[in-house]
Each structure stands twice: as structure tokens, then as C-alpha cells.
A and B are shown apart, each in its own frame.
Chain A
Amino acid sequence: GAVVSQHPSRVICKSGTSVKIECRSLDFQATTMFWYRQFPKQSLMLMATSNEGSKATYEQGVEKDKFLINHASLTLSTLTVTSAHPEDSSFYICSARDRQGSGTEAFFGQGTRLTVV
């Protein structure tokens, strides 16, 4: 299957700082990428849908000014958690869909464990 690389896999940052997470499709072009987060012992929840070259679509309750998403190319989307607070500590995971396929599956990155101290 196609490979999606997410970096970093773990990050610890101080409260008030910003953290950038990268999601790359390594062997395919992705017109659409999805960002999820998972709190401990809870489900993965869709945060936003990112389309190449356009603004991301955020799910209800997700602050777009806090979670900045950029999808500047067909192989890279970034999620920046701005002014991070301890309650932002979570597991963030991206997925990407191959532009060549219709009805094909989305491929997931390995996730990023963010800890804000």
C-alpha cells in the first residue's frame, strides 16, 4: 500500500509555544488529507479536511486559529498547534487519499504524540 509519513512521532513542548506536525505522502499525490486527534482512551476524532491549494475545512468545535493547517503541495500537509496548552496534549494522526483513485482508501501516518508541559 501507499506510504504516509508523519513527523515527528513524539514531541514535548512548553506551554505557550507552537508545534508543527508534517504529513507527507511518499509515493503518491494526495489532493486531500485529513487530520485526526485522539485523547487518551477515546476515539480518533476528525479535526479538519485539507485540500491542496485551498483552505482547510474544520469540524465543528475545532478552532481554526489554533490549529493551522497548510496543504501547499500534493505531497505535504502541515498542522501547527499554536500557543499550545496542556489540554492540547493528544495523539494527532493524518491520512491522505490518492488523487488517482476514485473510491480508494485513505492511508494513515503513524501519528504524533504531543505532550505540552
Chain B
Amino acid sequence: AQSVTQLGSHVSVSEGALVLLRCNYSSSVPPYLFWYVQYPNQGLQLLLKYTTGATLVKGINGFEAEFKKSETSFHLTKPSAHMSDAAEYFCAVSANNAGNMLTFGGGTRLMVKP
């Protein structure tokens, strides 16, 4: 069984500030981990994923995430927030690297203040 917890349903940062969105997971098998972003009235878009290998994963739009097995975490970060980063972010876990049959976290709405 797998589960994902995203701490903070809403996060607000100032433009140019560090973005940190937290994600913790539980999985009975080695996890494949994903971050998706959803802009208003659009589908989910894959930001990045961890399958195997390097634990620091770089994605699109300057985002990155680090898989920490000891902490069962996969937090998403971006050094400097842009107004265009305002969206809903979902962390997800899967038992395979194709991203099928995902178990999602509750989502975090990121707000960016000018």
C-alpha cells in the first residue's frame, strides 16, 4: 500500500523567494515519485520524477526535488519564485516508473505575491 502526504494545502511566497513544497510518502515497495503541476482549467503536467539513480532530480521551469529515503520525503524546491509558478502542485507515488496507477497527495496551492 502507498500513501502521500503533502504538508500545507496552501503556501504563499513572495516573488523571488524560495519555494518549498513538502511531500512525504509511504510505500511497501521501492517508490517511484512524481511531482505534477496543474494550472487553472488545465490538465496535470509532469514537473519531474524520480525512478532510480541520482536522488536530486531536476525538472522543468527550474524546479527540482530530492529523494531522501531515510526521511521518506520528496520535497519540491525552486530557488526563486515567479508569478507564473502560481498553481496547484501534486506529489504522487507509483509502484512503477511509467506513472500509472498513481497515488496522489492532497495537493498544495502555491500563491506568489508580487
Contact = CB atoms under 8 A, between A and B. Distances in A.
Interface string B95-114: 01111111111110000000
A77 to B, nearest CB: 14
Nearest to B4: A43
A106 B99 contact: yes
B43 interface: yes
A1 B45 contact: yes
Contacts of A19: none
Contacts of B41: 9, 110
Interface residues of B, number: 23
A107 B100 contact: no
Nearest to B107: A43
Contact of A110 (B4, B36, B42, B96): B42
Contacts of B46: 1, 105
Interface residues of A, number: 28
Interface in A8-59: 9, 32, 34, 36, 41-46, 49
B83 interface: no
B98 A44 contact: no
Contacts of B89: none
A106 B103 contact: no
B90 interface: yes
Given A95-B44, A106-B100, 7 more contacts: A9-B41, A44-B102, A93-B43, A95-B100, A105-B98, A109-B43, A111-B43
Which 4 pairs, one residue from A and one from B, show the smallest C-beta to C-beta distance?
A108-B44, A108-B43, A44-B104, A110-B43
Interface of A: 1, 4, 6, 9, 32, 34, 36, 41-46, 49, 93, 95, 97, 101-111
16 contacts: A1-B45, A1-B46, A43-B107, A44-B104, A46-B101, A93-B44, A95-B44, A95-B100, A103-B98, A105-B46, A105-B99, A106-B98, A106-B102, A108-B44, A110-B41, A110-B42
